[in-house]
Amino acid sequence: MKNKVSKKKISVEAIGVTKSFGDFQALKGITANIYEGEVVVVFGPSGSGKSTFIRTINGLEEHNSGEITVNGIPLNDDVKNRDAIRGQVGMVFQQFNLFPHLSVLRNITLAPQKVKKLSKSESEKLAMSLLERVGIPEQAKKYPAQLSGGQQQRVAIARALAMQPKIMLFDEPTSALDPEMIKEVLDVMIELAQSGMTMICVTHEMGFAREVADRFLFFDEGLIVEEGTPEHFFNNPKEERTKLFLSQIL
C-alpha cells in the first residue's frame, strides 16, 4: 500500500548540495525534492554518501555549497533557521543513540520539556502514548541497556516522534539489529509511513522499501545515479551500476 502523494508541496528541497571531508568529496552535487507525505528510500554502496546526505538535511553535517530548504526554511548560517529545521525533522540512527543514563520515559520526555517547554505531566502523557504506538508501554521505567536492540530502536523512534516532527530521517535503522528483531522495527516504520509521515529512509531492506516507498534514490560516489519508483527499479533499472548493485543485494 502506497501513500497517495499529492505531489505538490515540497518538504525538503536540495539543490546541488556538496560536502567534503578534507580532500575527500562525499557529496558531489545532490539535487532532489522530497514532497510532503512521501516515503523516499535512499540506497547505494557503502561510502556513497547516503548518511552524509541525510545528515546535511538537519544540519548535523554542514554542507559546503548548494541549497537545502526544509518546509520553506533555508538551512544556512543562521542558527535560528537551523534550530527551526531541527524542530521539524526527527532522526533515527543506526546505533539508536539512546541516552544510557536516563530511563526510557526520560529519554522521550527530555527534549519536549527542554525545547518545547512541555510540563512534566504533559510530556509523560505524550511519551506513554508514543510508547503504546511503538508497542512497548511496559518498558517505560527501564533503562536502555535493559532492552533488546529492537526495543531500543523503537524507543528511539518514539523519542524522535515526541518532538512532533513533520519529516523523519532514518539512517539504516535496522542494520545494527539481530535478524529476528528487524521486523518489529520495520512494522513501526510501516505504520508511520501509512499515517502519512514524510520519510527519508536509508535502508537496504528491500521488502520494506517495496511495500511503502514512493520513490527510490540510488546513490553512488556522492551522486544520485538513478531515481524512480520501486517498480522502475525492480523491473527495468537503466544504469549499469544500479543493476549491478541490485543484483548484489536482492
Ligand X SMILES: Nc1ncnc2c1ncn2[C@@H]1O[C@H](COP(=O)(O)OP(=O)(O)OP(=O)(O)O)[C@@H](O)[C@H]1O
| Footprint of another protein (CB under 8 A) | 58-60, 83, 86-87, 89-91, 93, 95, 97-101, 110-111, 114-115, 156, 159-160, 163
215 binds, among another protein, ligand X, Mg ion, none (CB under 5 to 8 A by kind): none
Contact criterion met (CB below 8 Å) for 176 and 185: no
Q: Which stretch binds ligand X (CB under 6 A): 8-16, 42-50, 119-127, 133-141?
A: 42-50
Dist. CA 192–CA 180, nearest whole Å: 20
Coil/strand/helix, residue 66? strand
Give Cβ neighbours of residue 65 (< 8 Å, ≥ 6 apart).
16, 17, 18
Asked if 21 touches ligand X (CB under 6 A), the answer is yes
Residue placing its CB nearer to another protein in the complex, 105 or 206 = 105
Type of residue numbered 51: S
* C-alpha span between 73 and 80 (Å, rounded): 10
CA dist., res. 66 & res. 29, Å (int): 7
Rule CB under 6 A: say whether 23 interacts with ligand X: no
In the list 28, 29, 33, 47, the residue contacting ligand X (rule: CB under 6 A) is 47
52 or 109: whose CB is closer to ligand X? 52
Would you say 8 or 117 has its CB closer to another protein?
117
Is 26 or 89 the residue whose CB approaches another protein more closely? 89
DSSP code of 71? T
Among 50, 63, 86, 154, interactor with ligand X by CB under 6 A = 50
Instruction: Say if CB 224 and CB 211 are below 8 A apart.
Output: no
